[in-house]
Amino acid sequence: MLLDIDLGTRGATRRTGSRLGDFGLDERGFQEVLFNSLDRLLPDEQLLLIMQSRHWREEPDLLALDAEGRLYIFELKAWEAREENLLQALRYGQIFGQYDYDQLAALYRHAPREAKTYAPPMRRTSASGSPTSSSTATKCSS
């Protein structure tokens, strides 16, 4: 959710954002954009991207480490987030939070580093029938 905050009145109003479909993207396409751009958005000394999920695997969309060795899990949704999305990110935290540095290094070594092509966007809708987008990021301490 995006908010416009008025510091003078200490009030906030909800801002209507653009949808992924407006940019010709689906969830996987947005994931690839972040995977290919995260090093420019957050320098390696702040967050090192380890991997991008593979099709049909129980993996977070993006997995990264910070300079202190804390694991960050990104789970992107092309529709509005629901409670089960948080449970999905927490499940990934349980799985990947147990990985040691050698296992994380293996994920990094096997992660493709080139841009991929992706299928045309699939239209997903919220309960109201309109397409939506959101993302969830979870930080795990080991």
d(CA 35, CA 17): 22
In the prediction, which pLDDT does 9 show? 92
74 contacts 34 by C-beta, under 8 angstroms:
yes
- % pLDDT > 70, the chain: 73
> Over the stretch 64-84, which tens digit does the pLDDT of each residue have?
888 888 899 888 877 766 778
d(CA 68, CA 137): 17
Comparison of pLDDT for 44 and 50, the residue scoring more: 50
> Does residue 22 carry a pLDDT above 50?
yes
- % pLDDT > 90, the chain: 13
Q: What is the DSSP letter of 1?
A: -
